[in-house]
Structure 1
Amino acid sequence: MSQDIGYIRVSTVEQNTARQLEGIALDKVYTDKCSGKDRNRPQLQIMLEHLRTGDTVHVHDISRMARNVGDLLELVESFKAKGVALKFYKENMTFTPDTNDAMQDLMLTMLGGIYQFERSMMLERQREGIAIAKKEGKYKGRPQSVDRSRIAELLRDGMSIRKIAGQLKISPSTVQAAKKEIASRHS
């Protein structure tokens, strides 16, 4: 029995998924709350494993499925090879196993390229903004989640890196990085 399956992706945990695929009757929905920069997304992988011939995957728009052309084209081809249809609502495009439409394939490639370009531009603007903010002394990076003074205190007491990591419930590499940072401040 074929199923209508929804795939929803947002970039962050805080983002709302409600507007995607609203009002569409679906048998199952897979939702990822992570970047679409690559195919390494838990729910996407689970969905790919569970797809069966005759299923239809519903996606709000192309950028929700993939943010780079290579991954997008590979995913569409893998759906078709499995006998699965894929429907993008925003672009009003449907890909089925039994049809090959050169114009639709061209549009998919072009739109995928636009989304990839859009992501690259966003990241470039972000890097530029951070560089300017750093230069102006306004960007300090992410707040420290580890108490450097506590690590320094435990190191002075002669505790090993592994024991400090265990006591503070952090990784040994975090303790080593903090140790290096502390040493550089005192030299």
Structure 2
Amino acid sequence: MMLLSYIRVSTVEQNDDRQLIEADKTFTDKVSGSTTDRAELNNLKDFARLGDTVTVHDISRLARNIKDLIDIIEFFNSKGVAVEFRKEAMTFTADKKNPMNQLMLNLLGSVYQFEREIMLERQKEGIAKAKAKGVYKGRKPTVDYALIEQHLNNGLSIRKTVAETGYSLGTVAKVSKKLKG
């Protein structure tokens, strides 16, 4: 029986120190919680065995919507693995269903899902306002199309342009196609 810790932060820049828990093995994802297709979560699912306990700092670290949250807990429970949430002081095991824990899980999971939807809505509103004011330009382009066009217009082949500019073959070919058509 092992204590397995799962940690998730949304970005590489975020610090996971507040979630650190002493465990036999720790699985850390640095990706959004909006998807369940996470490398370390999948590794944890493969690694966990009968009698193990997966411990997570809080519910929002495991999933951001109620369906995914319940699916993940049921997956582990079906393998005989307990899931423990430290902040909420709740544990879910296959052998005992606690109606109060189920209620709290559904309630807190719904609150986290609601928070995420509100945050995304506010983000969209903020972007729309910034665009209306002309201050939101989106992400800066990572490709200097003018440089690629210059090389192609000077008679360099696609492959030589790739070598000279360092851009991918696909990017240079796309610019070349745009110039021709």
Q: TM-score, normalised by structure 1?
A: 0.86
Report what 1:27 is aligned to.
24
Question: For residue 73 of structure 1, what is the aligned residue in structure 2?
Answer: 70
The amino acid that maps onto 2:90 is M
Question: Which residue does the alignment assign to 2:38?
Answer: 41
Measure, in 1, the Cα distance between the counterparts of 2:157 and 2:121: 41
SS at match of 1:19: helix
Question: 2:5 aligns to what SS in structure 1?
Answer: strand
For residue 60 of structure 2, what is the aligned residue in structure 1? 63
Amino acid at match of 1:140: K
1:5 aligns with 2:23: no
Give, as a single letter, the amino acid of the residue that structure 2 aligns with 1:69.
Answer: I
1:82 alignment counterpart: 79
Q: Residue 144 of structure 2 aligns to which amino acid in structure 1?
A: D
Match status 1:151 vs 2:133: no
CA distance in 2, matches of 1:180, 1:129: 36
**Equivalence for 2:108:** 111
Instruction: Return the alpha-carbon distance in structure 2 between the equivalents of residues 173 and 76 of structure 1.
Output: 42
Q: 1:169 to 1:45 in 2, by over 3 A?
A: farther
2:66 alignment partner AA? V
The CA distance in 2 between the partners of 1:17 and 1:118, in whole Å, is 21
Distance in 1 separating the partners of 2:159 and 2:119: 40
- SS of 2:27's equivalent in the other structure is strand
CA distance in 1, matches of 2:91, 2:161: 55
Distance across 1 between alignment mates of 2:122 and 2:160:
42
Q: Structure 2: 5+ residue runs without aligned partners?
A: none
Tell me how far apart the structure 1 counterparts of residues 129 and 8 of structure 2 sit (CA, whole Å): 31
**C-alpha contact 1:13 1:34 (8 A) present in aligned 2:** yes
CA RMSD of superposed structures (Å): 2.3
Q: Summarize the Cα distance change of 1:172–1:139 in structure 2 as closer, same or farther, 3 Å threshold.
A: farther
Partners of 1:38 and 1:68 within 8 A in 2: no
Structure 1: which 5+ runs fail to align? none
**What is the SS of the residue equivalent to 1:36?**
coil
2:14 corresponds in structure 1 to 15
Offset of residue 140 of structure 1: 1.3
